[in-house]
Amino acid sequence: MLPSPLIPTFLTLLHLTHALPTTISPPPERRPPSLESWPIPRLDMHMMSIHTGLPGDDWGNSTFPSTISFDVLVPPHSSNSTTIKSTCTASFPNHTLPLGRTYCTPPSPAEVLFFELYAYTGLGPRRPELAFWLDLTSAVGWDEENRSAEMFWWGSRAVTANNPAEESSFLTCVEGAPLDGLRCEIGSYLSVREELVVRVEKIGADAEDDGDGEGEGRS
Q: pLDDT digits over 13-39, tens only?
A: 434 434 444 444 445 445 456 899 999
Strand 182-186 relative to strand 197-208, pairing: unpaired
Beta-carbon count within 10 A of 11 CB: 11
Average of pLDDT values for 52-81? 90
Q: Which residues contact 181 (CB under 8 A, 6 or more apart)?
A: 46, 47, 48, 49, 64, 175
200, 153 contact by CB (below 8 A): yes
Give the residue, 89 or 143, on which the prediction is more confident: 89
Torsion of CA 119, 168, 201, 134, to 10 degrees: 30
Average of pLDDT values for 136-143? 89
pTM of the model: 0.78
What letter represents residue 169's amino acid?
Answer: S
CB-based burial, 120-141: b 16+ in 10 Å, e otherwise: beeeeeebbbbbbbbbbbbbbb
45, 129 contact by CB (below 8 A): yes
